[in-house]
Amino acid sequence: MNFVIDKSCLFSVIFFIVVVNVCKSREIPEFLHICKNTGDAAQEECIGQSAMFLRTYLAKGIPEYNLPSLEPLYMDELIASENSAGLKITANKVKAYGASDFYVSKVKVNNEKQTYVGDVDLPHLYIEADYGLDGRILLIPIRGSGPLFGNLTNCKGRVSVQGELYELDGVTKIRFTSLNLKIKVGNGNIKLENLFGGEKVLGDVVNGAINSNFDAFLKELLPVIEKALSKVFLDIANNVVEPFTYDQLFPK
């Protein structure tokens, strides 16, 4: 038996399948709260609330949208270049716990320039890593490598994001070209194991000196932490907005 397929019918079926698939691929998921493009305090408040709602999902990660889990947050090798005292610090296999427990306290938006600035509070970060240390701390010669454990509390950050609009397949989309994070730490402590080849007395003395002057030690490490976190969060932000059009994310 021969079947004759009407071309117009076939075209209609194909068109229907394509439309359905496009709609599905652009459907706004439940983890995104849409904010109207009003350019005022209402939009800024909405973006802050949307980020707060999203953090629950980021804690576990959303694999289908290529969004990693923030618990723990993994970072690549961190390297702090030598300072005037010749101190060099490296950290590998960095895991940070508590990154998803952020609170967005303020958001400022400029729709014309596509700039987004937010103030973020982080009550507690616990960090595990493998460190390498060579140089001087507080005029004390120091060298060692091994496990590092740190607690950072009352952290405050300012996130500055630059976006740009572009056209793709006849629709306007948004991507973020840069994200800069600056962090201030309220309090903290750190423990470096295996200093001086595991010499406990010297190790305890140096750990005590570091924690008594924690701000000075952290000053050497914060710039590389900020740089690494900025890259991680820039990738996350672009993965969030990439599947959708600008009008879907910020309807007029």
pLDDT at 140 over 90: no
Extents of the domains making up the chain: 30-249
As a whole number, the mean pLDDT across the chain is 84
Q: Tell me whether the omega of the peptide bond preceding residue 72 falls within 30 degrees of 0, making it cis.
A: yes
How far apart, in whole angstroms, are the C-alpha atoms of residue 250 and residue 40? 13
The confidence band for 79, taking pLDDT boundaries of 50, 70 and 90, is confident
How far apart, in whole angstroms, are the C-alpha atoms of residue 192 and residue 124? 19
The confidence band for 4, taking pLDDT boundaries of 50, 70 and 90, is very low
pLDDT at 22 over 60: no
Amino acid in the structure at residue 190: I
How far apart, in whole angstroms, are the C-alpha atoms of residue 250 and residue 247? 5
67 DSSP assignment: B
> Which tokens sit at 39?
């350019």
Residue 18: the pLDDT is 36
Average pLDDT over residues 48-70: 89
Helices (H) and strands (E) in the chain, counts: 5, 7
Inter-axis angle of helices 200-212 and 214-241, nearest 10: 70
Single out the residue of 87, 90, 92 nearest to residue 134, CA to CA: 87
What are the phi and psi torsion angles at 68 (to 5°)? -75, 160
187-234, pLDDT tens digit by residue? Answer: 999 999 998 888 889 889 889 988 998 888 888 778 888 888 899 899
Superfamily (CATH) of domain 30-249: TULIP domain (3.15.10.30)
pLDDT at 183 over 80: yes
Among the ranges given (15-19, 112-116, 210-214, 221-225), the one the predictor scored with the smallest mean pLDDT: 15-19
Among the ranges given (16-20, 53-57, 188-192, 194-198), the one the predictor scored with the smallest mean pLDDT: 16-20
What global pTM score does this model have? 0.79
How far apart, in whole angstroms, are the C-alpha atoms of residue 206 and residue 219? 17
